Amino acid sequence: MIQRICTLCAIVLTFSACMSGAGLTEVPATEVKAEYSVFTDDGPSLREAADARGLNFGVAVIPGRFRQPLYGGTLIGNFNSMTAENVMKWQTIHPERNRYDFSEADQIIDFAAENGMTVRGHTIIWHNQLAKWVTDTQWSRDELIEVMREHIFAVAGRYKGKILAWDVVNEAIDGSNYRKSLFYNVIGPEYIAMAFRMAHEADPQARLYYNDYGVSGLGAKSDAMYAMVKELLDDGVPIHGVGLQTHMSMQWDFSYDSMRRNMARFVDLGLKVDLTEVDVRMELPVTNEKLAEQADRYKRLMETCLEFPTCDTFIIWGLSDSASWIEYTFNGMGSATIFDTHYQPKPAFFGVREALVNGPPARDGDPDAPVVQRRAVPPFIASEAAEVPVLDGAAGEDEWGGGIVYPLGFNQLSPRDLRDTGSVAGTWTAVYKGNTLYGLLTREDDITYTGDRSSWENDTLEVFFDMNGTFVQLRTLIGQDFQAVSYEGPARAVWSDDGRVCEFSVVLPDTGLANMLCGWNIALSDNDGSGRTAQLYPVNGINDSYTGVNLGSLKFEGTSPRPPEAARITYPFKAAARAGITVDGNWSAAEWGNTVSYPFLFNQLNPDNLCPPVDDADLSGGWGIAWDGITLYGYVHRRDDITYTGAADSWENDCVEVFIDAAGTFAQHRIPAGKDWEDMPSAGVRTAAWS
Ligand code: XIL
């Protein structure tokens, strides 16, 4: 397929700048105006420490206080981002149907621009602090949709391009159901999708978030939020992340582990997860013990955020204890922020700084540890079987011909190099018919061992599903039928005599699988007689499937076209070690040698099945990368019948984009078809040439 390609582009990136590390000392100190006498010491300011990590470290602000020296100084000295505590809410910004008051919101935008800070917009659609003219009118459904549209276009439209992220919908879940808000009652739950679509139209560059409280850890409410955002994603709604408010009270215990698992499942949906309204309140009076515990809580919240590259925003709800909502809102509670009423740092300030400087603690050897560079992977695809496969251990070509063969590329028991699969190898394929999933495993393993008393320690095949919240795990020892681990439904596994092939079926608790997406993982384990040495997965960073969380996903492809035949993908992708590549648009096999050619397999603009266009001429391609120790080289083979680069928004054009996170420094690069690299922020030296 790659050989038929008509257009070619070779790219080169020099990494030296972004690999040189993000040391705190390299970041220029933020200038604090002289008249602001604010706390500083020998350590980095929080702002410097956050800048060094690429974190949007923000605070909810009251613009009327910007000109107070302590307020303004503490703000710009410690934070690189801010959000509106109240002034962008409906009642303030849109007090009458035909009157908007942007004065205070504008002050935030201006102050941020003057001081090099990013702004989070808070919040567009919320049941609280709504204007009276909205709540006091009996609206028809159409009228209220129109009101919503006017509001969203006016507000998000005004700040188009100036807001990093919007909390588009706030607190729409009550318990584990939709909140019976005005919008819900009049419009129905669709108001949420509508709001996101409108906001995206009004400001296409802003990241759009659903924001709520009581959803930081696993639980009924975060389950409801998960189900809701998953549905939004499945429907193609432009939602980019969830905001966990994280208003914490020291009266209650808090599980950071539960928070981590919760965050991981949203990250696995491809969403960003920000901590948007952090504060830690305590019962008054304040004691040193309480301040120490509060410091620990702030530190651990920051560490938890930093564990996830996609948690790139951490916002504290109030600049100091004299600018916090807690005392006037929660009886007998207070002292919830990191600066005291005189803008002096509390132990919590140092807790946050410690986390920012040191990063999350290493979790080597902890089996429950999250994987730091977790990546969201596109769903695997199970296509509909033309005929029902016969489970006899003989993998007939016709039976499985339509299914994609995926490698089991990662060995979670080889933490140094997950690609080292040890003395076992395998591939898997899944197809379905009705509500039955059929699977094919191929296995290469010279020694079969099933003598361990703990069944999971043996040579086994395991499969994990999550069907709409029903978690299923099954295990088969080589040569044996499935033993249900957490599923009693009908399932069968049949092995070939030599243990090299397993054909299996699982009847899933759902009627009709077409077009469904389920949580999924599959594992092949190897024990040669002295303990397990390998457990292979198709996705890296996912080794807690047995607890029902952090699964990959499997899409049951409906009646739509199949992906390219026998397409194979492997993670992580491999950059071949290669010297002497010239970037001139002339690709030759001699030059690129052993570089692996990968297909572009998933089309994110075809969300129904993620497959590339049916007609190869529309767009198809492949790519490969190589590395000579300093420079990353890449090529893209592109097959496309029409080349178009006339759109005003450059990303809308025919282009190649490269996204690299090297040592925590993220950079995006774009090459429009036939042109040079676009000028985008990057630490490296880049060259591009097209055929
Ligand atoms: C709060 C403000 O801090 C108060 O000043 C105001 O009186 C009420 O709202 N969740 C949210 C925030 O999303 O907008 C709320 O802010 C706190 C709870």
Model pLDDT for residues 286-329, shown as the tens digit of each residue: 999 999 999 999 999 999 998 887 788 999 999 999 999 999 99
Chain segment 111-153, per-residue pLDDT in tens: 999 998 999 999 999 999 999 999 999 999 999 999 999 999 9
The reported pLDDT for the residue numbered 465 is 85
Chain segment 174-233, per-residue pLDDT in tens: 999 999 999 999 999 999 999 999 999 999 889 999 999 999 999 999 999 999 999 998
Q: Using pLDDT thresholds of 50, 70 and 90, give the confidence band for residue 663.
A: low
Q: How far is the CA of 83 from the centre of ligand 1 (A)?
A: 12
Q: Give me the mean pLDDT over the 563-589 stretch.
A: 66
Q: Token pair of 466, please? A: 């999550």
Q: Token pair of 414, please? A: 């080889």
CB of 148 closer than 8 Å to CB of 198: yes
Mean pLDDT of the chain: 84
Chain segment 473-492, per-residue pLDDT in tens: 999 999 999 987 777 779 99
Q: What percent of the chain has pLDDT over 90?
A: 56
* Packing angle, helices 220-234 and 256-268, rounded to 10: 10
Q: Token pair of 95, please? A: 């007090």
Q: Return the amino acid letter for 609.
A: N
Chain segment 326-370, per-residue pLDDT in tens: 999 999 999 999 999 999 999 999 999 999 988 877 654 443 444
Q: Return the amino acid letter for 216.
A: S
Active site residue 150: no
Task: Identify which of 627, 651, 605 has the alpha carbon closest to the alpha carbon of residue 19.
Answer: 627
Q: Give me the mean pLDDT over the 577-605 stretch.
A: 79
The reported pLDDT for the residue numbered 12 is 44
Q: Indicate which residue of 48, 171, 384, 462 is catalytic.
A: 171
Q: What is the three-class DSSP state of 541?
A: coil
The reported pLDDT for the residue numbered 403 is 83
Instruction: Give the pocket of ligand 1 (CB within 6 Å).
Output: 85-86, 123, 170, 213, 245, 277, 325
The reported pLDDT for the residue numbered 683 is 61
Nearest CA to ligand 1 atom 15: 85
Nearest CA to ligand 1 atom 5: 325
- In angstroms, the first-to-last Cα distance of the chain is 18
The reported pLDDT for the residue numbered 87 is 98
Q: Are strands 177-178 and 173-174 parallel, antiparallel or unpaired?
A: antiparallel
Task: Say what the pTM is.
Answer: 0.56
Asked whether the predicted pLDDT for residue 434 surpasses 90, the reply is: no
Task: Identify which of 230, 211, 221, 304 has the alpha carbon closest to the alpha carbon of residue 260.
Answer: 304
Q: Give me the mean pLDDT over the 236-249 stretch.
A: 94
**Cβ atoms within 10 A of the Cβ of 282, count?**
23
CB of 680 closer than 8 Å to CB of 669: yes
Active site residue 462: no
